[in-house]
Amino acid sequence: MDRIVRLDSRQEAELQRVADKFVAYHGGDVMKALKEMIVLNGELQERLEKLSDSDAHFGRRHAYQ
């Protein structure tokens, strides 16, 4: 892991709400939901890396770098 994220109680509650909704979307199957989240996370990471690579060609730097 690159960094540790700390959440306040409001953020934790919102994260729990979204997680519950995501698991419900997958029929209550936590493992199915987790597997899809891993795939989605990998796809988003690839997109960010492509954006980062294309920005480097133009000499741009973003806050997430």
| pLDDT tens-digit readout, 18-54 | 999 999 999 999 999 999 999 999 999 999 999 988 8
For residue 43, the enclosing domain spans 30-59
Whether residue 5 lies inside any domain: the answer is no
List the Cα angle 40/42/58 in 5-degree steps.
115
In a domain, 15, yes or no: no
pLDDT of residue 6: 94
Residue 23 in any domain: the answer is: no
Higher pLDDT, 44 or 64: 44
Inside any domain, residue 53? yes
How many independent structural domains does the chain possess?
A: 1
Helices (H), the chain: 9-25, 30-57
The answer, yes or no, to whether residue 2 has pLDDT greater than 90, is no
pTM of the model: 0.65
Which pLDDT does position 18 carry in this prediction?
97
Q: Flag whether pLDDT at 16 surpasses 70.
A: yes
